[in-house]
Amino acid sequence: MPQILVPKLEEVKVGREVGKVVLYTKSATIKLPWQVVKAVAKAMLIQAGREEEMANLPRLIQDQALLQRTGAPFGLTDHPDIQEEAMKTAQHDDKLRKYLPGGVKGTAKLGVPRVIKHDPPKKEGTNGKKV
């Protein structure tokens, strides 16, 4: 299979033929089965997402730290090293305290619940009188 080096995205055209996806460049025409193209595209999207994380790393760490500090039940990344760094930032960054003046308000209810027993409602008879 020929190797394609593409300096600009505009130089690649994508087309299709029966059962094939075709890549057209100035130097080559490559025909691939659609199953292969789907698998490669999925792998490329995963790697592009990981590369996007690395390109936006400082902002990602700050945002993840803010979410951790607020106790959000979700995160922005599943990369353990980034999560660890965000946890350190959440614990030690004084600037994050400015974002949350007074801290995070708890939603826990304190005390013992009280059960109040009422008499069951009266049923109405067929003639409209209470039984």
Question: Which residue, among 46, 36, 37, has the nearest Cα to 14 in the 3D structure?
Answer: 37
pTM, 2 dp? 0.55
Residue 128 confidence (pLDDT): 62
Domain boundaries defined on the chain: 10-50, 56-99
Structure confidence at residue 21 as a pLDDT band (50, 70, 90):
very high
CA-based max dimension of the chain:
93
Question: Which residue, among 108, 109, 89, has the nearest Cα to 99 in the 3D structure?
Answer: 89
Q: What is the pLDDT of residues 31-44, one digit of tens each?
A: 999 999 999 999 99
Q: What is the pLDDT of residues 79-107, one digit of tens each?
A: 899 999 998 988 888 888 777 765 566 66
Q: What is the pLDDT of residues 52-79, one digit of tens each?
A: 999 999 999 999 988 888 888 888 988 8
